[in-house]
Chain A
Amino acid sequence: MSIDLNFNEQQQLIQNTAREFFQKHCPIDVVRRAEKADEEYPADLWRGMADLGWLGITFPEAYGGLGCSFLDLYALYGELGRSLAPVPHLECVALAGTLVAELGSETQKAEWLPRIAAGEAILTPALMEPDGLYGPDGVTLSARRDGDNFLLNGVKLLVAYAKSADRLVCAARIGTGDGAAGVSLFLVDPKAPGVSLEKTTNMASAPLYAVIFKDVAVPTSDALGEVGGAWPVLDATVMKAAVLQSAMVVGAGEVVLDMTADYARTRVQFGQPIGRHQAVQYLVTDIAIEQNLTRNLALRAAWRIESGRSFLREAALAKACASKAAAAMTFAAHEVHAGIGFMLDYDLQLYTLRAKHWESNLGDRRHCLERAMAEGGDDPLPHFQHA
């Protein structure tokens, strides 16, 4: 079969199962309660996902995973976006866990992957720093060899679920310079001496932290992958996760579109439904258009990953589009909803405030557009997409 934008049977099964699972176990009041709860994510929801195998969905079966493909994972992410499930899947499975699976030693993989898959351990990435740069030049936290240890010094921001985490997967720099060479990854216990956490809540009540490293001693055996040579795999993993984040925008966009079209059909002003006004129709169709563009670009990037093709350019385009769509779709939805949409009791705000985090997470629009151009080199617009 050539040219087909539909999921295969397995992906449809994952999609349908996930939709039913989240409808049952993560209705919108679970999302609301999680904003106020002490625990950083609902433990029973996380356990339920573990029982379905989703916490090790792409890990090798030898490490307690399901050995599923990237598109299988992608199918799950549309549903994570639709449901706004307040769980650390992107951080723990798609990023930190995948980095362990890709770069880890036998010992590291055996230690962490089965426990992540079982819902017994949380790993989370610590990547961003105060400069807010997404490239290798954004990694300045210093790692210095000291006997059998590395000493880490620096600051990481926007580290999600840091308090719950058993380990941070921390990007650090060995030596000088600001390029890819020197970027290293370390597994760091957030309770280790010298690590301090400051909660930095965002508008969607996400459990984000500033993590300050002061002479944190990390055994050399906790380096993940080659010291100084982690960037290519870290980058590829982040870009794959950016495609998953785009899938969440696509899924959430479906809900925002349905919510807004329903409101436009039923809200009566001037003696008729507001959706009859073409000014309103333009706003509702804006949502449909942004969602469609993101869906197609994200699916194409996912297919390139799945089929072993180069994907960095396409992933960057997908996330650039998703970042714009996240903002544009919720903007249009608020224009249509007006006063009621501004109220906390109405569900639209839950999407809007998370969209703001997703917009910049793993690459904002400006960064991703530049990345797409740079990855294209002398030919940013290659002739055929299937090469």
Chain B
Amino acid sequence: MVDFCPDDTPQLKAWRGEVRAFLEAELPGGMTFDYDYDEDEAGWDAYLAFWRKVGAKKWIGLTWPEEFGGLGRSAIERWILQEEFAEYAAPSHPIIGMAVAAGLLRHGTHAQRLRHLPGIASGAVQWGEGYSEPGSGSDLASLTTRAHLDGDHWVLNGQKTLGTAAHRAQWMSVLARTDPEAPGHSAISCFLVPLDAPGIQMLPLHNMADGQQNQTFFDNVRLPADSLLGDVNKAWNQIWFGLGGEALDPPGPSPDPYRYRIVRMLRKVMSYCRETRHRGRPLMEDPVVRLQLAELLEGVEAIRTQYYESYSNAVTGITVGPRPIALNLHQAYYKEFWPRFAQTCMEIVGPMAQIQGGRWACLNGELEHYFRGSVSNHAGGTSQLKRMVLATRGLGLPR
């Protein structure tokens, strides 16, 4: 039955109220810190302190079993929590930890879950990603970092790059080749790696939007056997990529504060257009500006409805067409829309949008920063890659 209302019972409405009350107490006015695009100590401290408070309520692992630090709550409660966090301008939770948690919940051993999930759930332990390599970006399955068994230990060698905020993490999820003879994704395994292990070195990369990513070097890093997550050689399909990102948000897709920045930025630009007068009238009343804003509104609203579609697909198991269509389609659309959105916002605000801060900056310089961040729409796979997957796996075009 067609329904776009997530909280249709008094219990769920009360749950939304509880989440909102928490945010109003802990985060009045939201938080502008984005870990991908910020690197100041005070920001990081406030950010991590906030997430430890969320963790203390056991809301990070809301849907996980209680023994792993969760509350065993429903998917729709997770949706409502996420929607409130997103609308409230809460900062996004470190995404890699949630991806690792999803992998652990599906494919981890009981001991691995007990070991790692409580730390993620409490907000105490941060995870970095060890996926991309200098020679393996879109074609991730060509990665050359390798691991081999030496007695009862795995020995890890290679180089990872573009690890967002990995320097703030204690652990890293690393993909490595475990059969040098086997091609492509058929010989890739996933390892849970403590970043204080001997043989690991990290060098910073500074991105265009003030964030830090990292190169990580593994030189004969010895890992105990239980560092392997899931089956050997099966990481591709088990952990993340085979699922097209669906596993990022167990138990099903929900609004994420990361993408919701697009909603918040549009609200800010609309406020600016109401408050700013050009030639004696608010910018909002300029028909050209209104049309530009309306086209942004349409795209943002389309993205919001896609969250509902993703959730409906995941929870009801019914999709329009083959499954890879929706996931890759949503990603392709968002990835192409986002930089155009940021560009149009800059055009609407005008030449002063480029000023970085101080009394002459527009929107406190937030749009200028946001524009630089929109150049990172490749993260998680380029739009070209999503289009290719949509065309071949989704629509059956030849590879």
Contacts and interface: CB of A to CB of B under 8 A. Distances in A.
Interface of A: 1-8, 11, 71, 257, 261, 264-265, 272-273, 275-276, 278, 280-282, 284-285, 288-289, 292-293, 295-297, 299-300, 302-304, 306-307, 317, 320-321, 366, 369-370, 372-373, 376, 378, 380-381, 383-386
B297 A373 contact: yes
Contact of B309 (A5, A7, A276, A317): A5
Contacts of B304: 385
B2 A2 contact: no
Nearest to A258: B395
B332 interface: yes
A272 B4 contact: no
Interface string B276-299: 000000000000001101110110
A6 B293 contact: no
Given A261-B397, A370-B294, A3 B333 contact: no
Contact of B291 (A288, A300, A369): A369
B396 A317 contact: no
A271 to B, nearest CB: 12
A3 B294 contact: no
Given A264-B397, A276-B398, A297-B305, A2 B294 contact: no
Secondary structure at the B interface, as helix, strand, loop or mixed, is: helix
Nearest to B391: A281
Interface string B373-399: 000000000001001101110111111
Secondary structure at the A interface, as helix, strand, loop or mixed, is: helix
A180 B258 CA distance: 43
Contacts of A369: 291, 294-295, 297-298
Contacts of B388: 278, 281
A373 B302 CA distance: 15
B398 A8 contact: no
B142 interface: no
Given A3-B308, A386-B5, 7 more contacts: A3-B3, A8-B1, A261-B396, A282-B391, A369-B294, A381-B263, A381-B270
Identify the interface centre among B1, B270, B311: most chain A CB within 10 Å of its CB: B1
Contact of B399 (A11, A264, A276, A299): A276
Given A276-B398, A384-B83, A285 B391 contact: yes
Contacts of A273: 397-398
B274 A5 contact: no
A280 B12 CA distance: 46
Contacts of A321: 298, 302
Interface stretch (B37-45, B55-63, B120-128, B314-322): B314-322
A71 to B, nearest CB: 6
B325 interface: yes
Nearest to A380: B297
Nearest to A304: B4
A373 B306 CA distance: 21
Identify the interface centre among B7, B308, B311: most chain A CB within 10 Å of its CB: B308
Contact of A6 (B12, B300, B316, B391): B316
B398 A272 contact: yes
Identify the interface centre among B270, B274, B333, B398: most chain A CB within 10 Å of its CB: B398
Contacts of A4: 1-3, 312, 315-316
B206 interface: no
Contacts of B274: 378
B6 interface: yes
8 contacts: A3-B312, A5-B4, A285-B395, A296-B302, A299-B305, A317-B301, A369-B291, A369-B297
